[in-house]
């Protein structure tokens, strides 16, 4: 435990099959033991049923102004993917480290953990904090509770660096996202007298078409300067699957789908949620005017705020100093960065690996990215020792 390299730690972390459907507690136990071996006390934040936990720890003086290194412990499933090796056994080949989660994002977790013994030896003036969440891949479900707990028990860090794969580029913006499960209950009659029934499939089509109209309006609008960095530069509304109906000649009693919204930073996820729910209420009123049993139920599956680029942001300035990257990057996928930012941390994404390798069969991380991570955390530790 005492002298593990980032590579040793990564091999260990990959060996825990922490797909989002499974418990991550074996991994959390191991990380807790690792930190304890260095005399660092970790704190767990459990999910509702106690099957998963986030873990955070702080190294250095208990003062404000520290830096959080944030990662997630869960990985996406491997089912149906053609892997050439065991996804939960780290394989090094031709300078690449293969394994589920090497890129997204146990590589960064390993880099952060490997920095702990070095940070302990350095005369830190401000703390290095490590925050490892669960259920990120299910829509950043685990981080908010962990962030709230950190706020209660630790002096407030000023910067959060979220190590999602960015090839060590500094990403200062991402879209927010929300998924709203939508369940329509219609009224079944023979389709020859459809005017007496409520066809849940055809009513759902009105809501799907709301997405079409929202996309068309977004596409036609002139994007603001920050939004213009995104591809596409507008808020998108999407329905990927839909289920409903039982027969071609029955007005469908049930229909369900998930409305997915990815919101540009200048528009709030909450506004879009409200806008969609207004449309749901309008369609529901039309349904109920025909039959009083008809209704629409909605359930928010995930709700992740966007990461808004911060003018003169402290996280951005620090990450640029640590990486030398001075270009501007944004991404269209959601991360925990927006959640840290919403909680008052200056936040950017900066981490090893290429997002193109994430979630893929034969997921890999270049070994050189781990080495770059060591240089990154060495500089960060220097930064934390400065006045
Ligand atoms: Zn990730």
Cα 292 to averaged position of ligand 1 atoms, centre (Å): 45
Residue 358 has pLDDT above 80, yes or no: yes
Are 319 and 162 a contacting pair, CB within 8 Å? Answer: no
Cα 52 to averaged position of ligand 1 atoms, centre (Å): 17
Range from 17-26, 79-88, 261-270, 282-291 carrying the lowest mean pLDDT: 261-270
List beta partners, residue 237: 261
The whole-number pLDDT of residue 240 equals 92
Separation in Å, CA 328 to CA 63, 230, 306, 364: 31, 11, 16, 25
Cα 319 to averaged position of ligand 1 atoms, centre (Å): 18
DSSP secondary structure string, 38-63? Answer: TT--EEEEE-TTSS-EEEEEEES-S-
Cα 136 to averaged position of ligand 1 atoms, centre (Å): 7
Cα 318 to averaged position of ligand 1 atoms, centre (Å): 21
Cα 374 to averaged position of ligand 1 atoms, centre (Å): 20
Cα 38 to averaged position of ligand 1 atoms, centre (Å): 27
Q: What are the helix and strand counts (H, E) for the chain?
A: 9, 15
- ∠ at Cα 373 (4, 355), nearest 5°? 115
Cα 267 to averaged position of ligand 1 atoms, centre (Å): 23
The reported pTM is: 0.89
Cα 112 to averaged position of ligand 1 atoms, centre (Å): 15
Predicted confidence band of residue 101 (pLDDT cuts 50, 70, 90):
very high
Cα 201 to averaged position of ligand 1 atoms, centre (Å): 35
**Closest to 259 measured CA to CA, from 237, 281, 275, 235:** 237
Cα 188 to averaged position of ligand 1 atoms, centre (Å): 44
Residue 118 CB coordination number (10 Å) = 15
**Closest to 27 measured CA to CA, from 99, 124, 133:** 133
Predicted confidence band of residue 332 (pLDDT cuts 50, 70, 90):
confident
Cα 137 to averaged position of ligand 1 atoms, centre (Å): 7
Cα 351 to averaged position of ligand 1 atoms, centre (Å): 10
Cα 72 to averaged position of ligand 1 atoms, centre (Å): 7
Predicted confidence band of residue 72 (pLDDT cuts 50, 70, 90):
very high
The whole-number pLDDT of residue 184 equals 98
With tokens 């030896």, the residue in question is 121
Helix (H) / strand (E) element for 195: namely: none
Supply 217's token pair. Answer: 């309006």
Supply 367's token pair. Answer: 């070994």
Cα 198 to averaged position of ligand 1 atoms, centre (Å): 42
3-state secondary structure of 339: helix
Cα 105 to averaged position of ligand 1 atoms, centre (Å): 5
The whole-number pLDDT of residue 290 equals 97
The whole-number pLDDT of residue 226 equals 85
Predicted confidence band of residue 333 (pLDDT cuts 50, 70, 90):
confident
Cα 130 to averaged position of ligand 1 atoms, centre (Å): 16
The whole-number pLDDT of residue 3 equals 85
Predicted confidence band of residue 266 (pLDDT cuts 50, 70, 90):
confident
Cα 132 to averaged position of ligand 1 atoms, centre (Å): 11
Q: What would the pLDDT profile of 290-319 be if each residue is shown by its tens digit?
A: 999 999 999 999 889 999 999 889 999 999
What b/e string do you get for 305-328 counting C-beta neighbours within 10 Å, with b at 16 or more? bbbbbbeebbbbebbbebbebeee
3-state secondary structure of 227: helix
Cα 75 to averaged position of ligand 1 atoms, centre (Å): 8
With tokens 């951005």, the residue in question is 316
Distance CA(343)–CA(121), nearest Å, equals 30
The whole-number pLDDT of residue 175 equals 93
Cα 158 to averaged position of ligand 1 atoms, centre (Å): 22
Give the pLDDT mean for 131-160: 96
Are 166 and 355 a contacting pair, CB within 8 Å? Answer: yes
Cα 283 to averaged position of ligand 1 atoms, centre (Å): 36
Residue 116 has pLDDT above 80, yes or no: yes
The whole-number pLDDT of residue 373 equals 97
* Terminal-residue alpha carbon distance, the chain: 32
Supply 161's token pair. Answer: 């660096």
Give the pLDDT mean for 265-271: 90
Give the pLDDT mean for 345-368: 96
Cα 204 to averaged position of ligand 1 atoms, centre (Å): 32
Give the pLDDT mean for 206-214: 98
Cα 305 to averaged position of ligand 1 atoms, centre (Å): 15
Cα 183 to averaged position of ligand 1 atoms, centre (Å): 29
Distance CA(54)–CA(143), nearest Å, equals 8
Kindly give the pairing relationship between strand 96-98 and strand 364-366: antiparallel
- Higher pLDDT among residues 107 and 231, named by residue: 107
Give the pLDDT mean for 276-299: 98
Cα 139 to averaged position of ligand 1 atoms, centre (Å): 10
What b/e string do you get for 65-76 counting C-beta neighbours within 10 Å, with b at 16 or more? ebbbbbbbbbbb
Helix (H) / strand (E) element for 285: namely: helix 269-290
């Amino acid at each position: 435990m005492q002298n593990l390299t980032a590579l040793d730690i990564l091999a260990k972390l990959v060996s825990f099959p922490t797909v989002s459907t499974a418990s991550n507690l074996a991994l959390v136990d191991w990380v807790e033991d690792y930190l304890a071996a260095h005399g660092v006390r970790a704190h767990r934040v459990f999910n509702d049923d106690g099957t998963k936990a986030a873990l955070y720890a702080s190294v250095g003086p208990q003062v404000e102004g520290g830096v959080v290194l944030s990662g997630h412990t869960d990985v996406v499933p491997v089912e149906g993917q053609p892997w050439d090796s065991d996804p939960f056994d780290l394989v090094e080949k031709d300078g690449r480290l293969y394994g589920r989660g090497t890129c997204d994002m146990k590589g960064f977790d390993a880099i952060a953990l490997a920095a702990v013994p070095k940070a302990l030896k350095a005369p830190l003036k401000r703390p290095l904090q490590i925050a490892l969440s669960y259920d990120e891949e299910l829509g950043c479900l685990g981080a908010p509770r962990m962030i709230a707990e950190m706020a209660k028990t630790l002096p407030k860090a000023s910067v959060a660096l979220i190590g999602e794969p960015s090839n060590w580029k500094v990403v200062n913006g991402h879209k927010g996202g929300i998924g709203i499960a939508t369940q329509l209950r219609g009224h079944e009659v023979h389709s020859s007298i459809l005017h007496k029934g409520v066809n849940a499939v055809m009513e759902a089509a009105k809501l799907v078409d709301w997405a079409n109209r929202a996309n068309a309006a977004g596409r036609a609008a002139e994007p603001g300067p920050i939004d213009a960095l995104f591809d596409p530069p507008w808020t998108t509304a999407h329905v990927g699957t839909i289920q409903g109906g039982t027969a071609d000649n029955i007005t469908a009693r049930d229909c369900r789908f998930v409305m997915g919204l990815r919101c540009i930073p200048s528009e709030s996820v909450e506004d879009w949620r409200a806008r969609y729910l207004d449309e749901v209420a309008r369609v529901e009123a039309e349904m109920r005017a025909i039959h009083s049993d008809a209704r629409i139920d909605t359930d928010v599956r995930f709700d992740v705020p966007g990461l808004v680029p911060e003018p003169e942001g402290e996280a951005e300035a620090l990450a640029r100093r640590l990486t030398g990257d001075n270009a501007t990057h944004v991404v269209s996928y959601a991360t925990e960065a927006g959640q840290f930012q919403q909680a008052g941390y200056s936040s950017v994404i900066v981490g090893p690996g290429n997002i193109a390798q994430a979630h893929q069969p034969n997921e890999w991380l270049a070994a050189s990215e781990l080495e770059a991570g060591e240089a990154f955390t060495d500089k960060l530790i220097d930064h934390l020792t400065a006045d």
